[in-house]
Structure 1
Amino acid sequence: MTLTTALGLMSGTSMDGIDIAAMRTDGESNVERGPSLFVPYDDAFRSRIETALQTAKAIKQRDERPSDLAELERDLTLRHAEAVAAFLANFPDWEPDLIGFHGQTVLHRPAEGLTVQLGDGALLAQRTGTRVVYDMRAADMNAGGQGAPLVPAYHAALAKSLSDSYRKTPTVFVNIGGISNVTYVPAAGDPVAFDSGPGNQLIDQWMQREGGLAFDADGAAAARGSVHQSVVDTYLQLPFFAQLAPKSLDRSDFDLSAVTGLSLNDGARTLAALAAEAVFAARKQMPETPKLWILCGGGRKNPHIAGDLRRLVQTIDGEVLAAEDVGLDGDATEAEAWAYLAVRSARGLPLTWPTTTGCRQPTTGGVMVQP
Structure 2
Amino acid sequence: MTSATPADGLYVGLISGTSADGIDAALVRFGADASDTGCRLEHGITLPWDPALRARLVELGQGGDARGLDEIGMLDVQVGEAFAAAVQTLLADAKVDGRDVRAIGSHGQTVRHRPAGAGHDGAHPFSWQIGDANVIAECCGITTVADFRRRDVAAGGQGAPLVPAFHAAMLQSAHEDRAVLNLGGIANFTLLPRAGDVRGFDTGPANALMDAWCLRHRGEAFDRGGAFAASGRVDDALLARLLDEPWFAQPPPKSSGREQFHLDWVEARLRGDESTADVQATLMELSAATICDALLAHQPATKRVLTCGGGVRNARLIERIAARLHGCAIEPTDAHGLDADFVEAMAFAWLARQTLAGLPGNVPAVTGARGPRVLGAVYPA
TM-score between both structures, scaled by the size of structure 1: 0.90
Q: Is 2:27 the partner of 1:15?
A: no
Match of residue 366, structure 2, among 342, 346, 356: 356
Counterpart Cα distance in 2 of 1:322 and 1:139:
31
Q: Residues 30 and 307 from structure 1, CA distance in 2 versus in 1: closer, same or farther, beyond 3 angstroms? A: same
Match of residue 334, structure 1, among 344, 353, 357: 344
SS for the counterpart of 1:97 is: strand
Counterpart Cα distance in 1 of 2:106 and 2:375:
13
Q: Is 2:88 the partner of 1:72?
A: no
Match for residue 105 of structure 2? Answer: 100
Pairs within 5 Å for 1:306-345 = 306-314=318-326, 317-345=327-355
Q: Residues 287 and 267 from structure 1, CA distance in 2 versus in 1: closer, same or farther, beyond 3 angstroms? A: closer
Q: Is 2:195 the partner of 1:209?
A: no
Counterpart Cα distance in 2 of 1:73 and 1:282:
35
The number of residues matched between the two structures is 359
Match for residue 62 of structure 1? Answer: none
Counterpart Cα distance in 1 of 2:371 and 2:277:
46
Pairs within 5 Å for 1:128-167 = 128-160=140-172
Most deviating of 183-192 and 243-252: 183-192
Most deviating of 148-157 and 232-241: 232-241
Q: Is 2:48 the partner of 1:36?
A: no
Q: Is 2:92 the partner of 1:89?
A: yes
SS for the counterpart of 1:75 is: helix
Q: Residues 93 and 67 from structure 1, CA distance in 2 versus in 1: closer, same or farther, beyond 3 angstroms? A: closer
5+ residue gaps, structure 1: 60-64
SS for the counterpart of 2:101 is: coil
Counterpart Cα distance in 1 of 2:365 and 2:64:
29
Give the C-alpha shift of residue 14 in structure 1. 1.0
SS for the counterpart of 1:68 is: helix
Counterpart Cα distance in 1 of 2:363 and 2:63:
32
Counterpart Cα distance in 1 of 2:80 and 2:299:
40
Match of residue 302, structure 2, among 281, 290, 298: 290
Counterpart Cα distance in 1 of 2:234 and 2:59:
31
Counterpart Cα distance in 1 of 2:59 and 2:328:
41
Most deviating of 202-211 and 351-360: 202-211
Pairs within 5 Å for 1:182-201 = 182-201=189-208
Q: Is 2:11 the partner of 1:6?
A: yes
Q: Residues 191 and 51 from structure 1, CA distance in 2 versus in 1: closer, same or farther, beyond 3 angstroms? A: same
Give the C-alpha shift of residue 96 in structure 1. 1.3
Counterpart Cα distance in 1 of 2:273 and 2:336:
40
Q: Residues 199 and 34 from structure 1, CA distance in 2 versus in 1: closer, same or farther, beyond 3 angstroms? A: same
Preserved CA contact (<8 Å) 1:98 1:133: yes
2:188 maps to a residue whose letter is: N
Aligned Cα root-mean-square deviation (Å): 2.3
1:73 maps to a residue whose letter is: D
Give the C-alpha shift of residue 352 in structure 1. 1.3
Most deviating of 214-223 and 323-332: 323-332
Counterpart Cα distance in 2 of 1:54 and 1:305:
23
Most deviating of 345-354 and 73-82: 345-354
Preserved CA contact (<8 Å) 2:306 2:330: yes
1:119-144 C-alpha deviation (Å, 9 max, x unpaired): 11112111100000000001101110
Identical columns (%): 36
Match for residue 125 of structure 1? Answer: 137
Q: Is 2:30 the partner of 1:25?
A: yes
SS for the counterpart of 2:266 is: coil
2:89 maps to a residue whose letter is: A
Q: Residues 46 and 107 from structure 1, CA distance in 2 versus in 1: closer, same or farther, beyond 3 angstroms? A: same
TM-score between both structures, scaled by the size of structure 2: 0.88
Most deviating of 6-15 and 210-219: 210-219
Counterpart Cα distance in 1 of 2:250 and 2:62:
26
SS for the counterpart of 2:321 is: helix
Q: Is 2:258 the partner of 1:246?
A: no
1:37-83 C-alpha deviation (Å, 9 max, x unpaired): 11111322211212333676579xxxxx7351211111111111111
1:145-177 C-alpha deviation (Å, 9 max, x unpaired): 0000001011112214x7xxxx75211000011
2:127 maps to a residue whose letter is: T
